[in-house]
Amino acid sequence: MKISLKHYLNKIFLLSNWTNFRPSQILTFAAMKAEILTIGDEILIGQTIDTNSAWIAEQLYLIGIGTNRIVSISDTKKAILEAIDDSFSRADLIVMTGGLGPTQDDITKETLTEYFQTELITNQEVLEGITEFFSSRGKEMLEGNTLQADLPKDAVILMNTRGTAMGMWFEKQGKVLISMPGVPYEMQGIMREYGLEKLKTHFNPPVIIHRTVLTQGIGESFLAEQISDWETSLRNEGLSLAYLPSPGIVKLRISGFGARGNEGVIKDRIDYYIEELERRLSPIIFGRDKETLAGVVGMLLQKHGKTLSTAESCTGGYLAHLITSVAGASNYFLGSAVVYSNTSKVEILGVESKTITANGPVSEAVVKQMAEGARRRFGSTYALATTGVAGPESPYPEVAPGTIWLAIAGPNGTRASMHQFGKSRSRNITVSALTVLNWLRNEILTAELE
Amino acid sequence: MKISLKHYLNKIFLLSNWTNFRPSQILTFAAMKAEILTIGDEILIGQTIDTNSAWIAEQLYLIGIGTNRIVSISDTKKAILEAIDDSFSRADLIVMTGGLGPTQDDITKETLTEYFQTELITNQEVLEGITEFFSSRGKEMLEGNTLQADLPKDAVILMNTRGTAMGMWFEKQGKVLISMPGVPYEMQGIMREYGLEKLKTHFNPPVIIHRTVLTQGIGESFLAEQISDWETSLRNEGLSLAYLPSPGIVKLRISGFGARGNEGVIKDRIDYYIEELERRLSPIIFGRDKETLAGVVGMLLQKHGKTLSTAESCTGGYLAHLITSVAGASNYFLGSAVVYSNTSKVEILGVESKTITANGPVSEAVVKQMAEGARRRFGSTYALATTGVAGPESPYPEVAPGTIWLAIAGPNGTRASMHQFGKSRSRNITVSALTVLNWLRNEILTAELE
């Protein structure tokens, strides 16, 4: 790290005595406290995993509101009233989902109307919206749907344009309760369009800014070792860091926070550290925030007018699937030969029979001929190839499960590398595909420099 | 439905006045109540989705224990003690996960030791296990790890063979608290090996038996319409039904319950209804319980000594990926040609250029030639083909996004069918692959009858 960094940052942002922050300390910093309530028997019998609460907790965290508790309860008046009283005894904000369906089982709206001592009145605008919702879909509107336009008089209605159960914002002595339907995309729509902005205005929480750096190719603990000095420096400057691992990928989320108005300064501070990391680890850093590796590779191919094909044995089509999950992939992806049998390796890709006999199908010679065969057959600029034993068992006594050969063929020739990933079939498939995609990314970037 | 069914069932199981059960009523039936506590700041900032609670709730439900509440709290003594008191005021059982790591941040074990008025003593068997755990992995054992063998004297230790944080079973006036580490596969191992059996012995909950029927090809609401008389009859006999939809698949879970000792009778009753459903809807029912469509198709191919290949345009390799996700797929799957460009359709599969020019690539003539080309090139018994516009945009003004042609080529010739799935790219890819796989399943079953 450069010696001048601390001076530079001290000058622009005097928080450098906040060291080694943990998430709980950030929650402490966010003085305003929320609790999240989920209503529904499906969650209590394990039929549905409660993904809404994690989404809401993250969104609140991103605007500087900490979450005390997440509670899932049954769809009964007693449980709802108890949970609200309990949460308001600790928190300033309750965010609720579920229990707002059109059937008689759903009693959340009635219970909240009673709790906040108000009454239900028909909201004409909402009634028109619901009527339009059904007529535009050619569906019959039932009485239960009409009743969804009856809403608590003292609540601010947070419009739901994706369904018929509206969001409701209640206030009581400065405290706030938001009730929303449990369908994830309806709830997310209401929060994105109304809820989050209204929360910022009402509670004026501190600013928290997050950026994510995406890495491929190094495991979490080895990565942590490699960047420990950078991490210490970053924490000494009042920023926090989270490692978010998944098979083949480790995401690094950097968070910075401070009083409102300091957004620009915090962003600069985070960018400084990200750029430093990118200088040190460019081969493994493939993107930021919501990018995907297949998307980044696709953009690079398109930018340079290059095309791609793949030849897959052990990945069995997953590599092509990753590439074609990106809308517009047909602009640069020509196709894949999934060659699961030795005969198809010979027939479709022109791998030599004698090479397979001499080396076995999991070998450097075969993976190179596969890549070259795909490049020739599809006429693409680059071709990627995979062959190995995905597992959990190996059909070849001399090849352990998890042994994978990867190859890349391109204008600068063909190269291959061997990897040993482990025994999990699904993990081997995923990690092989990501590894060879990141290899291609580096190959294209290197070619750019030539 | 046959008129004699009700008589038959009444004779063997006198519960037929239990009608129209909802999950909450089953929870009511299970008089024994549990609450689930999850400890961890990662969940409260939305960094981790709490999947442990859903898993535990389902396992408890499967052995007849209902869950009142699921609560996620912060890793502080105050929050833990408050939550335990609160849950024990309503429930007989608390199942806790998280907060048992080797670092000083984790204070759950100490807090529980204090709550249950006991003391920590070193458990020699556990200490040896932890020492062995580290030496067998060639890792250094730190002081924090040694301390994990210090365990509450009055707790029954539920051995964790997958990690170093043990499960603990506390009792107080007949009520039970189980504390386990938050790593899902460690927690699941402890519950499967010790926890669930011990709970059954301690609480002797009623029996609940579940069977799942797996369907492909009909949406949830249309399916519900088709089987409404069957569903009514099933509910009238005291069984309950849940629809569990995901893209392309609807699972039907049938649950039956009663006093211990009646397992056989309940199983017969459920089987009766499943067999009735299979008779009515065999083309859409592909399996039961934990089976997968690709696994079922693989078993059928293997049983008959048949082989398969695929030719994929819009599914982009996902169909081959589904097939090769099954261990041992190389016994019957020969490969896939992912032909994303028109040239590759011609070059790799031998589709005629003039057919593409005359009909466009999304057409009956092209999808049939693709299937026939794959069958010829790979030399397989059957070949499946997909071509369409996955979306969200369409490159062809005359073809709407979501328009998909599917084909199957086999010993009895080649057939194609057109489908219109919608605008979501990932959904179109998934549903296309599942639809053509289920078509193949029916094709093989029909061939069996000939």
In chain A, which residues have their Cβ closer than 8 Å to the Cβ of B42?
Answer: 23
Which run of H or of E encompasses A125?
A: helix A124-136
Classify residue A1: in a domain, yes or no. no
Q: Do residues B156 and B244 share a domain?
A: no
Alpha carbons within 13 A on the beta-carbon side of B260 = 9
- What secondary structure letter does DSSP report for A96? E
Flag if A426 and B55 touch (Cβ within 8 Å).
no
User: Would you give the end-to-end CA distance of chain B in angstroms?
Assistant: 29
> For residue A241, what are the domain limits?
207-288
Classify residue A350: in a domain, yes or no. yes
Question: With 50 as the cut, is the pLDDT of residue B18 above it?
Answer: no
**Cβ of B140 under 8 Å from any chain A Cβ?**
no
Beta-strand runs (E) in A98-166: 120-122, 150-152, 156-158
Classify residue B49: in a domain, yes or no. yes
The pLDDT value given to residue B79: 93
CATH number at residue B381: 3.90.950.20
How long is chain A? 450
Which run of H or of E encompasses A200?
A: helix A196-203
Tally of structural domains, chain A: 3
- Per-residue pLDDT of B157-198, as tens digits, reads 999 988 889 999 999 998 999 999 998 989 999 999 999 999
Q: Do residues A310 and A191 share a domain?
A: no
The pLDDT value given to residue A23: 42
A58: nearest CB among B22, B27, B46: B46
The pLDDT value given to residue A31: 64
What is the percentage of chain B residues whose pLDDT exceeds 70? 93
Distance from CA of A367 to the nearest CA of B (A): 16
Classify residue B245: in a domain, yes or no. yes
Summarize the confidence of residues B30-57 as an average pLDDT.
87
**Cβ of B50 under 8 Å from any chain A Cβ?**
yes
Cα-flanking dihedrals φ and ψ of residue B206, to 5°? Answer: -65, 165
Question: With 50 as the cut, is the pLDDT of residue B24 above it?
Answer: no
Flag if A338 and B317 touch (Cβ within 8 Å).
yes
More confident residue, B388 or B9: B388
Domain stops at, among A235, A256, A288: A288
Q: Do residues B173 and B223 share a domain?
A: no
Classify residue A18: in a domain, yes or no. no
B317: nearest CB among A46, A320, A341: A320
The pLDDT value given to residue B245: 80
Q: Do residues B215 and B329 share a domain?
A: no
The pLDDT value given to residue A46: 82
3-class SS letters over A288-349: ECCCCHHHHHHHHHHHHCCCEEEEECCCCCHHHHHHHCCCCHHHCEEEEEEECCHHHHHHHH
Question: With 50 as the cut, is the pLDDT of residue B357 above it?
Answer: yes
Domain stops at, among A184, A203, A222: A203
Which amino acid is located at B235 in the chain?
R
**Cβ of A225 under 8 Å from any chain B Cβ?**
no
What does pTM read for this prediction?
0.79
Q: DSSP letters of B342-399?
A: HHHHHHHH---HHHHHHH-SSSHHHHHHHHHHHHHHHT-SEEEEEEE--SSS-SSTTS
Nearest CA in chain A to B49: A54
More confident residue, B304 or B246: B304
Q: Do residues A199 and A50 share a domain?
A: yes
Three-state DSSP at A447 gives helix
Average pLDDT of every residue of chain B = 89
Which run of H or of E encompasses B69?
A: strand B66-73
- Per-residue pLDDT of B271-298, as tens digits, reads 999 999 999 999 999 999 989 999 999 9
The pLDDT value given to residue B1: 34
Classify residue B17: in a domain, yes or no. no
- What secondary structure letter does DSSP report for B331? G
In chain B, which residues have their Cβ closer than 8 Å to the Cβ of A394?
Answer: none
Classify residue B65: in a domain, yes or no. yes
Q: Do residues A344 and A390 share a domain?
A: yes
Nearest to A62 by CA among A265, A205, A269, A229: A205
Residues of chain A with pLDDT under 50: 1-29
Flag if B50 and A70 touch (Cβ within 8 Å).
yes
Which amino acid is located at A35 in the chain?
E
B44: nearest CB among A27, A330, A344: A27
**Cβ of A73 under 8 Å from any chain B Cβ?**
yes
The pLDDT value given to residue A149: 94
Query: Given the structure tokens 């797929």, which residue do they identify?
Result: B329
* pLDDT interval class at B15 (50, 70, 90): very low
Nearest to B419 by CA among B315, B324, B316, B337: B315
Nearest CA in chain A to B380: A344
CATH number at residue B70: 3.40.980.10
Contact A381, A411 (CB under 8 A): yes
Sheet containing B207-216, strands listed edge to edge, beginning at the edge strand earlier in sequence: B240-246, B249-258, B207-216, B285-288
CATH number at residue A223: 3.30.70.2860
The pLDDT value given to residue B413: 97
Q: Do residues B355 and B427 share a domain?
A: yes
Q: Do residues A126 and A213 share a domain?
A: no
Enumerate the β-bridge partners of residue A120. Answer: A152
Distance from CA of A425 to the nearest CA of B (A): 8
Domain stops at, among B170, B203, B236: B203
Q: Do residues B216 and B313 share a domain?
A: no
The pLDDT value given to residue A102: 77
Flag if A429 and B55 touch (Cβ within 8 Å).
no
Chain A window 359-398: which residues touch B at a Cβ cutoff of 8 Å? 377-379, 390-393, 395
Which run of H or of E encompasses B70?
A: strand B66-73
Q: Do residues A350 and A213 share a domain?
A: no
Q: Distance between CA A369 and CA A372 in Å, rounded? A: 5
What are the residues whose beta carbons fall under 8 Å from the beta carbon of B83, sequence distance 6 or more?
A69, B37, B71, B73
The pLDDT value given to residue A445: 95
Q: Do residues A349 and A400 share a domain?
A: yes
Question: With 80 as the cut, is the pLDDT of residue B261 above it?
Answer: yes
Least trusted range by pLDDT, from A168-177, B18-27, B87-96, B333-342:
B18-27
Q: Do residues B348 and B220 share a domain?
A: no
**Cβ of B244 under 8 Å from any chain A Cβ?**
yes
Alpha carbons within 13 A on the beta-carbon side of B39 = 29
Chain A window 307-346: which residues touch B at a Cβ cutoff of 8 Å? 309-310, 312, 315-321, 323-325, 327-330, 333-341, 343-344
Q: Distance between CA A295 and CA A3 in Å, rounded? A: 37
Classify residue A374: in a domain, yes or no. yes
The pLDDT value given to residue B16: 31
3-class SS letters over A240-288: EEEEEEECCEEEEEEEEEECCCCHHHHHHHHHHHHHHHHHHHCCCEEEE
